């Protein structure tokens, strides 16, 4: 349990949980897609959105794990509306299939939450898959927003790791260059891409005059998925982690806050942490870099 949380302007802090930041909010009639929903903070995000009345579609690779998640949620919340659809963000074919099947379902789409429940050092998974899925579902979100007269929300789960991207931010000419590859820098690059994607999407949505926001966020460092491959470090984390790191309920808070809270209405192209507005690096607000990334991503997904 995080002990050192100080409340920000929103009234919430690093110790706030997803249930606390959504208390009293009625999401009945809303439909949300949550990727990476079969474990960790993705599962908790799904549970809390369902608790607030949102119909949640889990986009997952492991359908058996998703079945277990759904059953667990229904035991706690019998009235919950939770469904699962297969989605592998590292495969453009899978992303296109998912988007096609969702659109064929005729369901509305109010909220799109793009998150990962594990650290994967693949630019294609952490950014390109999200980029393509968003583009394929954008018309559905726009249609839902127009017909419901309610703001649509696109939420990119990024990370403070964006601060450790390569010096040039995005290595457009070396995305697949093994000779210059660095695991941590590559992960930071993909998380910076999540922020830039939300920023450029905001600019384009404003030009279109639609009532849809796009924001990015840092969920916090979670005790359950850190240093899991290092037994010595993991042992130390188990001892002190509960005091200084977030649990899953706290880790899902900012995602749920940005997705549902009225305080976020009308706010777009921003970065959040601990359920409050936060600052990125200079690269995270570079509009030229954001546009270049958009064009680069469009070329890759044609």
Enter the pTM of the model. 0.91
Contacts of 186 (CB under 8 A, 6+ apart): 121, 123
What does the alpha-carbon distance between residue 68 and residue 62 come to, in Å, rounded to a whole number?
A: 10
- Per-residue model confidence as pLDDT tens digits over 135-176: 999 999 999 999 999 999 999 999 999 999 988 999 888 776
pLDDT tens-digit readout, 29-71: 999 999 999 999 999 999 999 999 999 999 999 999 999 999 9
Catalytic residue check, 257 = no
Report long-range pairs for 69-72 (Cβ below 8 Å, ≥24 apart): 69/37, 69/38, 69/39, 69/43
Residue 104 banded pLDDT, cuts 50, 70, 90: very high
Provide the residue ranges of all domains of the chain, joining segments of one domain with +.
22-300
Which residue among 181, 187, 257, 271 is the active-site one? Answer: 181
Strand order in the sheet with 55-60: 82-86, 55-60, 31-35, 111-114, 152-157, 212-218, 271-273, 276-278
Closest CA to 42 of 95, 89, 7, 6: 89
Of all residues in the chain, the percent with pLDDT exceeding 70 is 87
- Domain 22-300 adopts which CATH fold? Rossmann fold (3.40.50)
């Amino acid at each position: 349990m995080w002990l050192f949380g100080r409340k920000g302007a929103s009234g919430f802090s690093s110790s706030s949980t997803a249930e606390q930041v959504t208390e009293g909010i009625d999401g009945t009639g809303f439909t949300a897609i949550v990727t990476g929903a079969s474990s960790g903070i993705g599962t908790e995000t799904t549970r809390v959105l369902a608790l607030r009345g949102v119909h949640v579609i889990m986009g997952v690779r492991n359908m058996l794990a998703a079945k277990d998640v759904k059953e667990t949620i229904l035991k706690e919340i019998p009235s919950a509306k939770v469904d699962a659809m297969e989605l592998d963000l590292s495969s453009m074919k899978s992303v296109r299939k998912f988007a096609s099947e969702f659109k064929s379902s005729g369901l509305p789409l109010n909220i799109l939450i793009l998150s990962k429940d594990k650290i994967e050092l693949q630019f294609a998974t952490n950014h390109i898959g999200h980029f393509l899925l968003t583009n394929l579902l954008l018309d559905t979100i726009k249609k839902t927003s127009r017909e419901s007269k309610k703001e649509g929300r696109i939420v990119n789960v990024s990370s403070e790791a964006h601060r450790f991207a390569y010096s040039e931010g995005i290595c457009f000419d070396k995305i697949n260059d093994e000779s210059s590859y660095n695991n941590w820098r590559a992960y930071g690059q993909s998380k910076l891409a999540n922020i830039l994607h939300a920023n450029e999407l905001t600019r384009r949505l404003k030009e279109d005059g639609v009532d849809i926001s796009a924001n990015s966020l840092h969920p916090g460092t979670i005790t359950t998925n850190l240093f899991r491959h290092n037994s010595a470090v993991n042992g130390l984390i188990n001892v002190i982690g509960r005091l200084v790191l977030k649990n899953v309920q706290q880790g899902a808070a900012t995602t749920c806050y940005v997705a549902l809270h009225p305080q976020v209405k009308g706010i777009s192209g921003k970065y959040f942490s601990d359920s409050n507005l936060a600052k990125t690096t200079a690269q995270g607000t570079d509009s030229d870099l954001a546009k270049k990334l958009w064009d680069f991503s469009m070329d890759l997904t044609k």
